[in-house]
Amino acid sequence: MRFSTVLKPLFVACALTASIAQAAEVNIYTTREPGLLQPLLDQFTKDTGIKANTVFVKDGLAERVANEGDKSPADVLMVVDIGRLTELAEKDLAQPIQSKVLEEVIPAQYRGADGKWFALSLRDRILYAAKDLDLKSFTYEELADPKWKGKVCIRSGQHPYNTSLISAFIAHNGEAKTEEWLKGVKANLARKAAGGDREVARDILAGICDIGIANSYYVGRMRNAEEGSEQRQWGDAIKVIRPVFASAKDGGTHANVTGAVVAKHASNKENAVKLLEYLVSEKAQAMYAKINYEYPVRAGTELDPVVASFGEFKADALPMAEVPKYRKKASELVDKVGFDN
């Protein structure tokens, strides 16, 4: 009896310590390249004392979490692309969050009305053009202009970055016009729609094409690469022009997002919310801008000098939640016109 009386406080203390240790962590499933995310998470741990554990899931994140069910250890799910972000909410893999911080910092256009998803940074889909090309403005519609026949480079039409753009085009122009536009862009391709965004700059330097569509942050990476390196040469060979939708009333450049949700069965919900709130803080948003060359969702954040040199970024006013509604049709049209063939 005396033995158990003596040990009982010890057992309680140990259990409490274990509980506290467990609470001081957050588990993240992410489709983002680990190297792009880790500096932010390291700073989060340093500033909060909360350990951030990551699992990199290149493909099938939604399916994995669904299969794990209520046994899933994931607290936060982080993805690239608005379609994949809203999919997590639509498949009931996210839970609604009420956070004054997130609501005040993130514009309504870049968060779910139900509080289930939040964008953390923006990536605009821009035009890379040969440096000596006499071109100062551009519309997405012009990609199908016959004057660019044999002069356009782009990655696969089925890549999420492009299906997102095509989805927005459908939202602005309708299916029939989008199909004709895709046919025109395909007719203008200098090579098969393939490779990555940086290969667009590479092929412009090589003289294979004059223009191409790609994300702006790759220019930040290329121009900040080591002097004389291959990628630095690619970045220096192009100039950046922000296309707009000619059919849109307000005009604006298409942007995709990186974002996150709090997992439906998060066991560390409080820490998960703390992480999301931290990622929209002034410090973290500055890191998004300077490490990843992305556009922060927090207004007034200083940009990387290379990105700032592109001039003012005016995003397409189309509500971000509208884009995924046309994703399936965009993919079907890419196949219908044989865009990637």
Q: Report whether 218 belongs to an annotated binding site.
A: yes
Token pair belonging to 51: 């350990």
> Buried b / exposed e across 179-216, counting CB within 10 Å, b at 16+?
bebbbbbbebbbeebebebbbbbbbbbeebbbbbbbbb
Q: Report whether 110 belongs to an annotated binding site.
A: no
Residue type, 113: A
Residue 230 CB coordination number (10 Å): 13
- CA atoms of 72 and 52, how far apart (whole Å): 16
- CA atoms of 230 and 318, how far apart (whole Å): 37
Phi, psi (rounded to 5 degrees) for 315: -80, 150
Phi-psi region of 338 (alpha: psi -120 to 50; beta: other; left: phi over 0): left
Known binding residues for Fe cation:
217-218
Known binding residues:
217-218
